[in-house]
C-alpha cells in the first residue's frame, strides 16, 4: 500500500486578501511560514519517505520547511500539481470581480482552466508519484483548487464540500482496490 499526504501550501498575503492566486507565483507570508513549521512538527511524529512540491514558490517554500524538519529529500517539483489557472479573475478579490465584470461574473467565460482538465493533470501527477514510490509514504505540497479537483478524480465518493485550509493534510491510500481517503483537511496542528 502506498500512502500519499496531500498538503495545501501555507498562507500568502493574497490568501489573507481573498485574491485568486492561480498561476501567480506568490511567496508565503509570515503566517504561512509559521503554519509550515507547525505542520512540520506534527509530521515529525510520523514516517514519511519523500516530499514533492508543485513548481510554484508558495508550495515549494512550504515543502522546504517540512523537508528540513523531517530530514527527508525534496524529491522534485511537479508542474502537474500546480494551481489551476485563474484566467481573467487571477489577482482579484470578489469585490473587484463584481466591480469589473458585474454580479453575474460567475456565468461568464473568465478563461479559467476547466475542472476536467485540472483533474486529469492532477490525477496523472499523483499517480506518477505513487508509481515511483510503491509501498512508501510520500508527501505532496500543492494548492487548494487543484487538490480538490484531483481528489474528485482519485476518490469520487469523497465529500469535497469543505474547502481545504492552508497547511491542511489529506491522506490517501492506494492498494489493489484503488484509492481511499483516511483523512480529509486535517488541521489539528493549527489548533494546538
Q: Binding site annotation covers 11?
A: yes
Q: Binding site annotation covers 13?
A: yes
Q: Binding site annotation covers 26?
A: no
Q: Binding site annotation covers 142?
A: no
Nearest 10 degrees: Cα torsion 170, 175, 180, 183: -30
Q: Binding site annotation covers 189?
A: no
Residue 181: helix, strand or coil by DSSP?
strand
Q: Which cell numbers in the block locate residue 180? A: 481511499
Q: Binding site annotation covers 10?
A: yes
Q: Binding site annotation covers 133?
A: no
- Sorted by sequence, the CB contacts under 8 Å of residue 49 that are 6+ apart come out as 72, 133, 136, 137, 138
Q: Binding site annotation covers 58?
A: yes
Q: Binding site annotation covers 144?
A: no
Cβ(75)–Cβ(51) under 8 Å? yes
User: Where is the binding site, in residues?
Assistant: 8-15, 58
User: Where is the binding site for substrate, in residues?
Assistant: 8-15, 58
Amino acid at each position: 500500500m502506498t500512502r500519499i499526504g496531500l498538503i495545501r501550501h501555507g498562507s500568502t498575503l493574497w490568501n489573507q486578501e481573498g485574491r485568486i492566486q492561480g498561476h501567480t507565483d506568490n511567496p508565503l507570508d509570515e503566517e504561512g511560514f509559521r503554519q509550515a513549521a507547525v505542520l512540520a512538527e506534527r509530521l515529525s511524529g510520523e514516517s514519511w519517505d519523500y516530499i514533492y512540491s508543485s513548481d510554484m514558490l508558495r508550495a515549494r517554500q512550504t515543502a522546504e520547511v517540512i523537508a528540513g524538519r523531517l530530514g527527508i529529500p525534496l524529491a522534485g517539483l511537479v508542474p502537474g500539481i500546480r494551481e489551476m489557472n485563474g484566467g481573467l479573475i487571477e489577482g482579484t478579490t470578489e469585490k473587484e470581480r463584481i466591480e469589473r465584470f458585474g454580479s453575474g461574473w460567475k456565468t461568464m467565460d473568465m478563461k479559467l482552466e476547466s475542472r476536467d482538465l485540472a483533474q486529469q493533470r492532477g490525477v496523472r501527477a499523483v499517480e506518477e508519484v505513487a508509481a515511483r514510490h510503491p509501498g512508501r509514504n510520500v508527501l505532496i505540497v500543492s494548492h487548494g483548487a487543484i487538490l480538490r479537483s484531483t481528489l474528485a478524480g482519485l476518490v469520487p465518493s469523497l465529500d469535497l464540500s469543505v474547502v481545504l485550509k492552508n497547511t491542511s493534510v489529506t491522506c490517501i491510500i492506494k492498494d489493489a482496490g484503488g484509492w481511499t481517503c483516511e483523512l480529509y483537511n486535517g488541521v489539528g496542528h493549527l489548533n494546538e
